[in-house]
Amino acid sequence: MTLKGKVVIAQGGGPTAVINQSLVGVALESRKFSQVDRVYGAVKGVRGIIEEDFLDLSQETTHNLESVARTPASALLSTRDKPDEKYCEEIFHVLKAHDVRYFFYIGGNDSASTVHIVNENAKKSDYEFRAIHIPKTIDNDLLVNDHTPGYGSAAKFVSQAFTGVDLDNRALPGVYIGVVMGRDAGFLTAASSIAQKYYDDGPHLIYLPERPFSKEKFLREVKEVYDKWGRCVVAVSEGIKNEAGEPVAKELIQRAEYDAHGNILLSSSGALGENLVNYVKENLNIKRVRSDTFGYLQRSFMGCVSEVDQHEAREVGEKAAQFALWHNQDGSVTIHRTGDYSVDYQLTALEKVAKHTKSMPDHFINKGGNHITEAFRKYLRPLVGEERFFAHHLRAPQVEKILKNR
């Protein structure tokens, strides 16, 4: 059966460098089908649907849409609302009132849950309706997917940032601690290592949420690296957890803030980095110890976009439209790696992607739990693209000292 009506597209959660590729992909592909009356974009995600705040993307020029596709962050704006059953009923009520037959939501696992609940409302009401979840997250933690759009570009940024930090630290030695996004999965923090070329390149230590974090072990390992190289660069995930499974940052933030999903706002404070800096200074007597919390910089940095990430983000949008409009199906578009390197796009049941998160596989993390393996580097390299920047060191011979005995 061919459904005739409108399309609504929404973007949810944190922006990425390539989320607009998915928006434009599904919008342009949908405009090709005669059964589509209009293509609407919901401003500020699902909240825009509730408030009937729509843009008519049918009247947007293809030229401008293509320009928007190359622009980072969410062109339709976003929301952190986490819809419950009642909220989803309201979403469905508005969509039905506007004769919307196709709903596309670009986001993470909570967005997949929203799509699933809205779709169930349509089934209960015997309203013919197709809902598709389009993957997006820099955390790379969606189940079923080999990787997610947004991750490759964020990983490229983190990699290049740590390359620059390592060069700075080499010039003026000390201890540097960079805190990277990643609440439950360490994929983005692990990307800090992808540009390592020389045996003494940083980051020398990498700490991920998948392994319990001990401050005492951390101190010992920093000392070992510092004693060996005279410096130490550390990458730390904001979501590192103690032996009890509680976020370390939660212990350090006196007045913790929480988002609509009930998650502590880990990147809203530099407390984790500052605390680790003070701990190193107090116990190792090293004067030059610094930290940075990367925060929003990782998500939508315009000068650091992976071409592979752009292309795949565009294609998941196009495939979403094709699954719904050609094949009359619901689900979540998922990315599957085939060969070295290619991908395939499949439609997966929404409940298999919703709610839960994916962690770094054990074989991506070294035995000591403080760095990554070559298997992870092999996994990541195609995603950041071939334009990786590698730093180079001087190789000229040392001139013999004349006054060395004075």
Binding site residue list for Mg(2+): 109
Supply the DSSP string of 30-53, one letter for each residue.
Answer: HTT-TTEEEEEEETTHHHHHHTT-
Q: Residues near 243 by Cβ (< 8 Å), separated by ≥ 6?
A: 212, 214
**CA nearest neighbour of 34 among 74, 81, 2:** 2
Q: State yes or no: is 126 an active-site residue.
A: no
Bind-site residues: 14, 109, 137-139, 181-183, 238, 296-299
d(CA 243, CA 250): 13
Amino acid residing at 302: M
Q: Residues near 183 by Cβ (< 8 Å), separated by ≥ 6?
A: 139, 209, 238, 239, 247, 263, 266
Bind-site residues for substrate: 137-139, 181-183, 238, 296-299
For residue 347, the tally of other CB atoms under 10 A from its CB is: 19
> Which residues make beta-bridge pairs with 336?
344
Q: Which tokens sit at 332?
A: 């979540």
d(CA 277, CA 286): 10
The residue with tokens 């390359």 is: 163
Helix (H) or strand (E) holding 235: strand 232-237
Tally of residues, the chain: 406
Catalytic residue among 84, 99, 126, 139: 139
3-class SS letters over 166-195:
HHHHHHCCCEEEEEECCCCCCHHHHHHHCC
Are the CB atoms for 69 and 11 separated by under 8 Å?
no
**CA nearest neighbour of 376 among 360, 358, 359, 389:** 360
**CA nearest neighbour of 268 among 290, 246, 296:** 296
Give catalytic residues, as residue numbers.
139
